[in-house]
Amino acid sequence: MAEKTPAEVLGEQLLIHKEHAAVRCTDEQLAAADAFCEGYKSYLDTSKTEREAVTTTIALAEAADFTAFDKSKTYQPGDKVYFNNHGKSICLAVIGRQGTKNGVKIAAAHIDSPRLDLKPIPLYEANELALLKTHYYGGVKKYQWTALPLAMHGVVSKADGTCVEVKIGEDDQPGDPKFCVTDLLPHLAQEQMTKTLAAGIAGEDLNILVGSRPVCREKGENRFKLNVLKALNEKYGMVEGDLMSAEIEFVPSAKAADIGFDRSLIGSYGHDDRVCAYPSVMAALDCGTPESTVVVVLADKEEIGSVGNTGLNSNFLCDFIEDLADLDGMAVRDVMRRSECLSADVCAAYDPTYASAYEANNSCYVNYGVGVMKYTGSRGKGGSNDASAEYTGKVRRLFDKNNVQWQIGELGRIDLGGGGTVALYISGLGADVIDVGVPVLSMHAPYEVVAKTDVYMLYLGIKAFFEEA
Ligand code: MN
Ligand code: MN
């Protein structure tokens, strides 16, 4: 071996060292990451909407001895509870040896994703085609939602007061039809192709094709529309008016799949933010009896500003923690002031195809571990949480001590755009909060990509956070 130069020796001491997960991890660790992601892929396939994510999470939690929280009961260290918030967001807690006395450890992720929601009066026919009007939800590039197979998920509150769950078009329901938004053929798209990507497909163009045969041979009004309603009525007992009181989401019907010859990546709809929700839940399931009480919150409505009673800009998390604090005779404000939170949401993975959108030194990369974001936001950090040096340092040391691979970065080039997370709502309650998450390629597209090692590192990171005294 050649002797190291003085610069090499200094470099080892003074510089940041980054290593690809496949170089840094043992074969056993890589196999563990791959195995962990098999569970994650199943979670993705059964959790395409926030409601389904809550249902799937409760099933996982109950199988691990979690029970519905009951504030009239007393709980012991190691007891596991959950609080189902209107079926669209959920809190899990594992009671710690110290309870809430020294604050709680929170991991917060969200389970809503960009999609096409139906308008209240969606069904119409035009030139003998039956179509549904949609209103997109969250930040979407509209052109990405044409010409791909979609499935219909949701709930309908019917006139008789009953509520019916709707799910049509998934691969695990053989024989089901799928749906799609049509696009213009290139042969006739000369005008469309001169428009910007933002204008090429308009919001009112995102109409879902749902039928093309009339209900009867005789001429008459609404025959194509009626054929769709007849099918919905036969399957769900519903009528057109029931769609006024419904939450129907059209989402890509593809299942999660390995990507790449080496199967190192996962392609799926909805990684943002199930890729942080699943590791958070699994960390709570696997953390044993923690010192301080552990709380996982999976929130709804993050993609549209954390609004409503299932979003984190409401009191539901604080109220749940207050219920836990009451068990210990603690004031919730004292608990929150002493609490720490990992706001677990995805970050943008550096994409060499769009290199100019990033600043390479301050970007997160797939296969380089948990992406830590000290701040998010846009312009001069507007709308961000901006974690303190002290708390950032604490998380850094925690990850290093526990051999959790991590990196730090910004969303992308300054003033190119921006984005926020739930971090500011939780820090607003008094806790120390920092954003951590999995780097995603094609974020918010109908098909997003993550690296398996990063998913696993986030799990290890959150578990270490929960298990820390
Ligand atoms: Mn997100
Ligand atoms: Mn998002």
Q: Which CATH number fits domain 16-113+269-467: 3.30.420.40, 3.40.630.10, 3.40.50.720, 3.30.470.20?
A: 3.40.630.10
Q: How far is the CA of 404 from the centre of ligand 2 (A)?
A: 24
Q: How far is the CA of 113 from the centre of ligand 2 (A)?
A: 7
Mean pLDDT of 24-33: 97
- 72-78-80 Cα angle (round to 5): 55
Mean pLDDT of 143-156: 98
The per-residue pLDDT for 24 is 96
Q: How far is the CA of 112 from the centre of ligand 2 (A)?
A: 8
Q: How far is the CA of 194 from the centre of ligand 2 (A)?
A: 29
Mean pLDDT of 153-178: 94
Q: How far is the CA of 306 from the centre of ligand 1 (A)?
A: 11
Q: How far is the CA of 179 from the centre of ligand 1 (A)?
A: 26
Q: Say yes or no to pLDDT of 107 above 90.
A: yes
State the CB neighbour count (10 A cutoff) for residue 396: 14
User: What is the four-CA torsion angle of 266, 267, 271, 276, rounded to 10 degrees?
Assistant: 0
Q: Say yes or no to pLDDT of 277 above 90.
A: yes
Q: How far is the CA of 271 from the centre of ligand 1 (A)?
A: 9
Mean pLDDT of 136-157: 98
Between strands 294-299 and 105-110, the pairing is parallel
Mean pLDDT of 141-164: 97
Residue-wise pLDDT for 122-143, tens only, equals 999 999 999 999 999 999 999 9
Mean pLDDT of 36-56: 98
Q: Are 441 and 350 in contact (CB under 8 A)?
A: no
Mean pLDDT of 44-70: 98
174 pLDDT band, cuts 50/70/90, is confident
Residue-wise pLDDT for 367-385, tens only, equals 999 999 999 999 999 989 9
Mean pLDDT of 75-79: 98
The per-residue pLDDT for 335 is 98
CA-CA-CA-CA torsion sign (378, 380, 383, 386): positive
The per-residue pLDDT for 172 is 82
Q: How far is the CA of 135 from the centre of ligand 1 (A)?
A: 20
Q: How far is the CA of 102 from the centre of ligand 1 (A)?
A: 29
The number of the ligand nearest the C-alpha atom of 140 reads: 2
CB-count exposure of residue 413 (10 Å: 0-12, 13-18, 19+): middle
The number of the ligand nearest the C-alpha atom of 421 reads: 1
Q: How far is the CA of 172 from the centre of ligand 2 (A)?
A: 26
Q: Say yes or no to pLDDT of 11 above 80.
A: yes
Q: How far is the CA of 422 from the centre of ligand 1 (A)?
A: 9
Domain spans, the chain = 16-113+269-467, 116-252
Q: Say yes or no to pLDDT of 95 above 70.
A: yes
Tokens of 330: 């603690």
The per-residue pLDDT for 171 is 82
Q: How far is the CA of 120 from the centre of ligand 2 (A)?
A: 24
The per-residue pLDDT for 178 is 97
1 pLDDT band, cuts 50/70/90, is low
469 pLDDT band, cuts 50/70/90, is confident
Q: Which of 97, 99, 103, 62 is nearest to 82 (CA)?
A: 62
Alpha-carbon distance of 383 to 375, in angstroms, equals: 9
Q: Say yes or no to pLDDT of 289 above 90.
A: yes
Q: How far is the CA of 303 from the centre of ligand 1 (A)?
A: 7
Q: How far is the CA of 346 from the centre of ligand 2 (A)?
A: 7
Q: Which of 353, 349, 347, 357 is nearest to 415 (CA)?
A: 357
Q: How far is the CA of 401 from the centre of ligand 1 (A)?
A: 27
Q: How far is the CA of 138 from the centre of ligand 2 (A)?
A: 8
Q: How far is the CA of 411 from the centre of ligand 2 (A)?
A: 12
Mean pLDDT of 165-184: 94
The number of the ligand nearest the C-alpha atom of 443 reads: 2
Q: Say yes or no to pLDDT of 198 above 70.
A: yes
173 pLDDT band, cuts 50/70/90, is confident
Q: How far is the CA of 194 from the centre of ligand 1 (A)?
A: 32
Q: Say yes or no to pLDDT of 15 above 70.
A: yes
Average pLDDT over the chain, rounded to an integer = 97
If one looks up domain 116-252 in CATH, what number appears? 2.30.250.10
Q: Say yes or no to pLDDT of 448 above 90.
A: yes
Q: How far is the CA of 291 from the centre of ligand 1 (A)?
A: 29
The number of the ligand nearest the C-alpha atom of 274 reads: 1
The DSSP call for residue 290 is -
Q: In what order do the strands lie in the sheet with 105-110?
A: 67-68, 80-85, 89-94, 294-299, 105-110, 340-344, 432-437, 370-373, 406-408
